[in-house]
Amino acid sequence: MREIVFDTETTGIDPRQGHRMVEIGCVELIDRMPTGKTFHAYYNPERDMPAEAEAIHGLSAQFLSEKPLFFDEVEAFLEFVGDDKLVAHNAGFDFGFLNAELERCSREAICLSRKIDTLELARRKHPGGKHSLDALCTRYGVDRSHRVFHGALLDAELLAQVYIELTGGRQIAMGLVPVADNVGEAARDDRIVPLHPSADRPVRPPRPHTASEAELMRHAAFLERIARPIWNR
């Protein structure tokens, strides 16, 4: 089963007010395991960058002015995501911007039946708790110490780990992460150290686990003293 976990960065909160998508990051999962394949791109929004948005993701209008238009790179994105399910946190926001960009390209919108919203999953699994990506990373022990600004690919990678935990989990904090033969190196958790015999550990002979003849005799004598044992009924 292939799924794509993705995140976007934008110039604002509403594409209907002329705001644009400026970054997208995608992480491929196969059977809920990262394969190491990703897609990441910046886009020129052809407009200014509000200060409040830049404060969140750190992307300036000058930096983005040198990036390609989404129109020119749409094929690469569509080829990567294919027809598979798309996982996002507060997915309505990301789908809204993504489909607005596709509409500008006269391309078919991505059907909402492909949407998996981790915010909805978190609210059902942890009612009354905090459901931001940061809060879920803390809950599941996902390291986000390198997250200074919001970044689409970084957030998608964090969300992929959270999504795995929300849907069954690999118990990240305990290091119990199976690695399939066909999974890329990015899926391997460097914190997992295989156990090897210690060279300086003394070798002890195996202990006997069967009762001795004397023990069997004492046990039989004990059973004889029990009046009306249930195993004789």
Compute, in degrees rounded to 10, the torsion defined by CA atoms 94, 97, 102, 105.
-150
Please give the share of the chain, as a percent, with pLDDT higher than 90.
64
* pTM above threshold 0.85: no
pLDDT digits (tens, 9 = 90+) for 188-205: 444 434 445 555 556 667
131, 146, 150, 209: the catalytic one is 150
Annotated catalytic residue 150: yes
Q: How far is it, in rounded angstroms, from Cα 68 to Cα 143?
A: 32
55 pLDDT above the threshold of 80: yes
Which of 20-34, 81-95, 134-148, 171-185 comes out lowest in average pLDDT? 171-185
CATH code assigned to 2-187: 3.30.420.10
Which of 42-46, 75-79, 92-96, 178-182 comes out lowest in average pLDDT? 178-182
Q: How far is it, in rounded angstroms, from Cα 131 to Cα 137?
A: 10
Q: How far is it, in rounded angstroms, from Cα 95 to Cα 72?
A: 19
Amino acid letter, residue 97: F
pLDDT (0 to 100) of residue 170: 63
3-state secondary structure of 20: coil
pLDDT digits (tens, 9 = 90+) for 65-94: 999 999 999 999 999 999 999 999 999 999
3-state secondary structure of 178: coil
Q: How far is it, in rounded angstroms, from Cα 99 to Cα 79?
A: 16
Could you tell me the residue ranges of all domains in the chain? 2-187
Who's near 100: CB < 8 A, 6+ residues apart?
Answer: 15, 16, 21
Who's near 129: CB < 8 A, 6+ residues apart?
Answer: 122, 135, 139
